[in-house]
Amino acid sequence: MDEKSMKTGTTTLAIKGKDYVVLAADKRATAGSMIINKKVQKVFKILDNLGLTVAGNYSDIQLLMKYIKAELKLKEIRTSKRVNVKEAVNLLATLVYTNLRQMFPGITQFLVAGFDRHGVHLYDVFPDGSLNEEDEYVCSGSGMVFALGVLDALYNKNIPLDEAKKLAIKAINAALQRDTASGEGIDMMVVTKDSVEKVHTEQLTVRLNENIK
């Protein structure tokens, strides 16, 4: 297959509030126009204080995830301290940069959220290995333009956590309805100053649909 036919897609997003970050993503894996998996995990807990979403070439993602987990665990063991979020993100960005140079056209993007003694943080690690700290919200993947439209319209800096989770579902759903490379439901994780926890989205989705009706 040529590069175009193997193009992959997804929709992931992160919403940052005063003391939390909501991470969310769809569950569909595609290769060109083909759906190859309907239960792909794209939201991960890396450490007790760190979670992320993934987008891009899944084989590269799996490799980079193994590397980052191992390196961060070793760092915690050596220092007997919780990993600083910025240090973890810088390490991941270096791995992404190295992967791009050695294994092109492997393309990956990560939205990383974590907490440390400095507070709750959100970073976007771009496919070229560069990174940017985000203060509000960010999306990635082929469906990002549809999710961004919802976030642009409805986000505010004082949004409570429960409302932010509902907003994440609305934004991902907008992509699921319009982007053929995104689908099969939603995974969600919430990072606060104390924990990184997976969220069961089914009940949230039902309540959201009831409110819309």
> pLDDT digits over 43-70, tens only?
999 988 999 998 877 777 788 888 888 8
Q: For strand 131-133 and strand 137-140, is the pairing parallel, antiparallel, or unpaired?
A: unpaired
Q: Which residues are catalytic, by number?
A: 10
Q: How far apart are CA 33 and CA 40, in angstroms?
A: 17
Task: State pTM to two decimals.
Answer: 0.82
Q: Does domain 12-212 have CATH number 3.40.50.720?
A: no
Among the residue ranges 11-15, 142-146, 166-170, 207-211, the one predicted with the least confidence is 207-211
- What is the pLDDT at residue 38? 56
Average pLDDT, the chain: 81
Instruction: State mean pLDDT over 5-26.
Output: 82
- What is the pLDDT at residue 106? 57
Do 28 and 11 form a contact (C-beta atoms < 8 A)? no
- The helix-helix angle for 85-103 and 58-79 (nearest 10°) equals 140
Give domain limits for the chain. Answer: 12-212
